[in-house]
Amino acid sequence: MDFLNSIILLTNFIIVPGITYGSQLALGAIGVTLIYGVLRFANFAYGDLMAFGTMIVILVTWFLQSKGITFGLLPTALLALPVGILLTIAVSLFFDKTVFEYYRNKKSDPVTFIVVSLGIMFVLNAVVRIIIGPNDINFMDGHKFIMKAKEFKQMTGLNEGLALKSTQVITLITTIITCSILFYFLNKTKTGKSMRAYSNNEDLALLSGINPKKIVLLTWIIVSILATVAGTLYGLDKSFKPFTYFNNLLPIFAATIVGGIGNPLGAFYGGFLIAFSEIGLTYAYKKFFKYIMPEGLEPSTLIQFISTDYKFAISFAILIVVLIFRPNGIFKGKVI
Amino acid sequence: MIKNSEFKICFSVMTVLTILVGLFQSWGIALSMLNLCLISAVMAMGVNIQWGFAGLINFGVMGFLAIGGLATVLISVPPVPEAWSAGGIGILISGLFLLAVVFSVLIINKKIPNHKYKNYFIFVIIILSIPLLKFIAGPSINKIESINAATSGFLGGANLPIIFSWFVGAILCALVAFVVGKVCLGLRSDYLAISTLLVSGIIITIVKHEEWLSRGVKNVIGLKRPVPYEVDLQNSEWFIKLVEFLNSSKLSNVLDFDERTSLLNELVISSSGVFVKLCFSLIFLAVVLIILYFSEKALKSPWGRMMRAIRDNEEAAKAMGKNVVKQHLFIFMLGSAIIGFAGAMLVTYDGLFTPSSYQPLRYTFLIWVMVLLGGTGNNYGAILGGFVVWFIWIQSAPFALLVINIFTNHLDETNYIREHLVNSVPYFRYLMMGLGLLLVMRYRPRGLLPEKIIKN
């Protein structure tokens, strides 16, 4: 019984939140890595692109709610998602046309791209704050819990409860669907293969008759979809606040580089690696050891590697360690 | 230096902006804007040394500013004897332990030849040392933080004059930059940008959460000042006489004695604030001029030529026998030290240290906008960028309000859209910054005052 309790404890406090947070990071990191692989720059405006997409979803959600339309047990935001995706694609393409295209044609160095992406970051930051304001917004509706900790305890008779929020399940399912479509597209379809070829060797791809404009367009579309989906899932699970979205850019970057920049599968694993180490290293294992250790040997301290204040710092530290020992990332990067 | 036309442009822009704000708003606002412009100019010069001279992209500005700010606390605040006696020894022991870990890692790295598992071994040592450090320092930290938690709860500082802390901040930053540089400088430009940004995130987390050191989110208020306090000025004979003399025409119009005294009193109070800010301005201006002088000298010296050579063609510079790695590390430390100096100045001017206020948008990217807008590789450009960008940053909210009022004039006062726009006025500054940066990068990619190619 104690063993079961300890497993449930870990599932409730590490595995379930880790998978949820990991999925959100993974979706974001795949977006960053695709931009890096195809367009060859680190996009600092990505966090704010996520915020923009989520903002549109929230506005549409409010509109639908005011008309009395809901999605039953599921959050209304899922209904609003397509509109958010479309507008985010429009914004991405707009910025690509007005800003990035010029520098791409000029073949500017990566630093120039970073700097102009900073400019777009400022603009999007302002647009989001002007339209929806800087405050915390909770737009989750529908059924909150699939299983409450109390119900689980009654059902199984265990000491430890296992709570399962519906947003956690939605996040996981959406991530699985999105990623399977994406990887199928990249690995099996002709367009996906041409995208990979372009990322791998631009000149050779051009010689083979691949249209670079189409590739760029496609990349922005995929990236905008990923950004909006990741942003909306994060917002449903926690809450929407423009500043948090900007800050989330940092663990997303960490996940991207840890997984090997330019490598979508690496970014996927990187997201989970970052999420699990953030949660796993800041969790206090006292209760866990109480269950599995024999009586009399229970630990007196919290058995916590580092305090939760340093949650973000862990992902940064992992990144720096990876950069020192394996600058190409754990899964060799640079190729989609 | 003074005959230089760019010098004239910079400082005439600054004077005109200050006078304009002084005439249209108030002299207090004008001077505080001027002070922050000067501090921003120092920050921009620091970044310009790294980016403009050497082409090193440092997105960790925020972290170095915070270290400079921390230095003011560590130097100027009086020590807390109770906290020292309660946990001082524990902190010192854990400090020694940390040093021991660092040295053992260094020695292992140096002495043991390239073994397959060397890196993993070092990694394990570092990982193990973190919980051990927590175990050693934990009880003392708890003791320190529980002493007068509402008013102190930290170790305090060295109770020295605050000007001293500016230099200590610079030295601390140089030391941190040495470590960061050793780790990150080998990376390619975009990786370097991301990793310095993340390192600054780590620094902020530490400053924010190590309350025994910096009081963390509880903030340190009432820091010392290098200039007199308003209250002292208001009670001193010479200052009242000075105000009386400066406003003699205004005062002579008032005949009634009581009225005259109350007017004089009002004038003394308002001008004491202006006087304090003026003192700050003079000190900051002196700092800007001194750093500008040395920075210009360095740029024109053989060393500056070498730095530009390394920036423009690293391979060729290497082939000429220049030690690129060493020079990069040195200039990274130098630039960070100047940023740290500015960070200490900023906290001194504010009179309080608030770790939670350090955000990358304001303290990293805004400084970068200053450098890029002003002119990469040109010290005058950095100064001009500091002035202009800070002016836009401060004045864009009132400007946006004006524009909104013009365009929504036909709408009702309580119209939803109008009210919403008026409420979001502060965020128009981000829009201005972003658009400004995009426009400059497109049409004047080398900045307002571009770098001059010196041929001699």
Distance from CA of A68 to the nearest CA of B (A): 22
* B130 pLDDT above the threshold of 90: no
Q: What ipTM did this prediction achieve?
A: 0.90
Percent of chain B clearing pLDDT 70 (strictly above): 99
Which chain A residue has the Cα nearest residue B124? A321
B365 contacts in chain A (CB < 8 Å)? 118, 121-122
The answer to whether A277 touches A314, Cβ cutoff 8 Å, is yes
More confident residue, B55 or B112: B55
pLDDT tens readout for residues A313-332? 888 888 888 877 777 777 76
pLDDT tens readout for residues A95-144? 999 999 999 999 888 889 999 999 999 999 999 999 998 889 998 887 78
Secondary structure class of B154 (helix, strand, coil): coil
Confidence category of residue B333, pLDDT binned at 50, 70, 90:
very high
Shortest CB distance from A126 goes to which of B187, B430, B442? B430
Confidence category of residue A53, pLDDT binned at 50, 70, 90:
very high
Confidence category of residue B408, pLDDT binned at 50, 70, 90:
confident
pLDDT tens readout for residues B145-179? 887 777 777 888 888 898 999 999 999 999 999 99
B259 Cβ contact partners less than 8 Å away, ≥ 6 residues apart? none
Confidence category of residue B1, pLDDT binned at 50, 70, 90:
low
Taking the alpha carbons of B81, B85, B91, B95 in that order, is the dihedral positive or negative?
positive
Confidence category of residue B454, pLDDT binned at 50, 70, 90:
low
pLDDT tens readout for residues B35-67? 999 999 999 999 999 998 888 999 999 999 999
CA B189 – CA A112 distance, rounded (Å) = 11
**CA angle, corner B221, sides to B217 and B225, nearest 5?**
140
B447 contacts in chain A (CB < 8 Å)? none
Nearest to A248 by CA among A260, A266, A267, A235: A235
Give the pLDDT of residue A125: 92
More confident residue, B338 or B2: B338
The 3-state secondary structure of chain A reads: CHHHHHHHHHHHHHHHHHHHHHHHHHHHHHHHHHHHHHHCCCCCCHHHHHHHHHHHHHHHHHHHHHCCCCECCECCHHHHHHHHHHHHHHHHHHHHHHHHHHHHHHCCCHHHHHHHHHHHHHHHHHHHHHHHCCCCECCCCCCCEEECHHHHHHHHCCCCCCCEEHHHHHHHHHHHHHHHHHHHHHHHCHHHHHHHHHHHCHHHHHHCCCCHHHHHHHHHHHHHHHHHHHHHHHHHHCCECHHHHHHHHHHHHHHHHHCCCCCHHHHHHHHHHHHHHHHHHHCCCHHHHHHHCCCCCCCCCCCCCCCHHHHHHHHHHHHHHHHHHCCCCCCCCCCC
**Chain-chain contact of A134 with B209 (C-beta, under 8 angstroms):** no
CA A114 – CA B78 distance, rounded (Å) = 44
Tokens of B362: 């304001």
**Chain-chain contact of B442 with A110 (C-beta, under 8 angstroms):** no
Confidence category of residue A335, pLDDT binned at 50, 70, 90:
very low
Q: Which of A142-146, A249-253, B69-73, B161-165 has the lowest mean pLDDT?
A: A142-146
Shortest CB distance from B202 goes to which of A114, A124, A317? A317
- Which of A122, A125, A281, A315 has the highest number of chain B CBs within 10 A, making it the mutation to test binding with B? A122
Distance from CA of B296 to the nearest CA of A (A): 25
What's the topology of domain B5-79+156-443? ABC transporter involved in vitamin B12 uptake, BtuC (1.10.3470)
CA A292 – CA A275 distance, rounded (Å) = 25
Q: Which of A276-280, B117-121, B232-236, B333-337 has the lowest mean pLDDT?
A: B117-121
**Chain-chain contact of B441 with A126 (C-beta, under 8 angstroms):** no
Alpha carbons within 13 A on the beta-carbon side of B89: 2
A148 Cβ contact partners less than 8 Å away, ≥ 6 residues apart? A161, A163
Nearest to B369 by CA among B387, B389, B383, B384: B389
Give the pLDDT of residue B383: 92
Q: Which of A50-59, B248-257, B305-314 has the lowest mean pLDDT?
A: B248-257
Q: Which of A37-46, A210-219, A301-310, B154-163 has the lowest mean pLDDT?
A: A301-310
Q: What are phi and psi of A74, to 5 degrees?
A: -85, 155
The answer to whether A111 touches B57, Cβ cutoff 8 Å, is yes
Give the pLDDT of residue A9: 85
Q: What is the mean pLDDT of residues A152-178?
A: 87
* A217 pLDDT above the threshold of 90: yes
Task: Tell me how far CA of residue B350 lies from CA of A198, A244, B265, B278, B361, in angstroms.
Answer: 52, 26, 26, 14, 19
Q: What are the residue ranges spanned by the domains of chain B?
A: 5-79+156-443, 80-155
DSSP string computed for B208-246: HH-HHHH-GGG-B-S---SS--HHHHHH-HHHHHHHHHH
The answer to whether B310 touches B34, Cβ cutoff 8 Å, is no
Task: Tell me how far CA of residue B6 lies from CA of A17, A113, B35, B162, in angstroms.
Answer: 57, 29, 21, 33
**Chain-chain contact of A319 with B198 (C-beta, under 8 angstroms):** yes
CA A258 – CA B32 distance, rounded (Å) = 44
Alpha carbons within 13 A on the beta-carbon side of A134: 11
Confidence category of residue B398, pLDDT binned at 50, 70, 90:
confident
* A189 pLDDT above the threshold of 50: yes
Q: Which CATH architecture has domain A2-325?
A: Orthogonal Bundle (1.10)
- pLDDT mean across residues, chain B: 88
pLDDT tens readout for residues B88-111? 888 888 889 989 988 888 888 888
Beta bridge partners of A137: A240
A 238-277 → B contacts, CB under 8 A: 243, 246, 250, 253-254, 257
Give the pLDDT of residue A23: 94
Length of chain A: 336
CA B21 – CA B28 distance, rounded (Å) = 9
**CA angle, corner A38, sides to A33 and A44, nearest 5?**
50
Give the pLDDT of residue B22: 87
Distance from CA of A302 to the nearest CA of B (A): 11
- Which of B198, B202, B429, B443 has the highest number of chain A CBs within 10 A, making it the mutation to test binding with A? B198
B314 Cβ contact partners less than 8 Å away, ≥ 6 residues apart? B324
More confident residue, A156 or B199: B199
Give the pLDDT of residue A151: 82
A119 contacts in chain B (CB < 8 Å)? 434-435, 437-438, 441
Which chain A residue has the Cα nearest residue B134? A306
Q: For residue B321, is it left (φ>0), alpha (ψ between -120 and 50) or beta? A: left
CA A245 – CA A88 distance, rounded (Å) = 15
Nearest to B248 by CA among B258, B226, B263: B263
Q: Where are the alpha helices (DSSP H) in B147-188?
A: 162-184
Give the pLDDT of residue A336: 41
* B186 pLDDT above the threshold of 90: no
- pLDDT mean across residues, chain A: 88
**Chain-chain contact of B195 with A254 (C-beta, under 8 angstroms):** no
Confidence category of residue B299, pLDDT binned at 50, 70, 90:
confident
Nearest to A141 by CA among A191, A69, A227: A69
Radius of gyration of chain A (CA): 21
- Please identify which residue in the block is written with the tokens 């005062």: B251
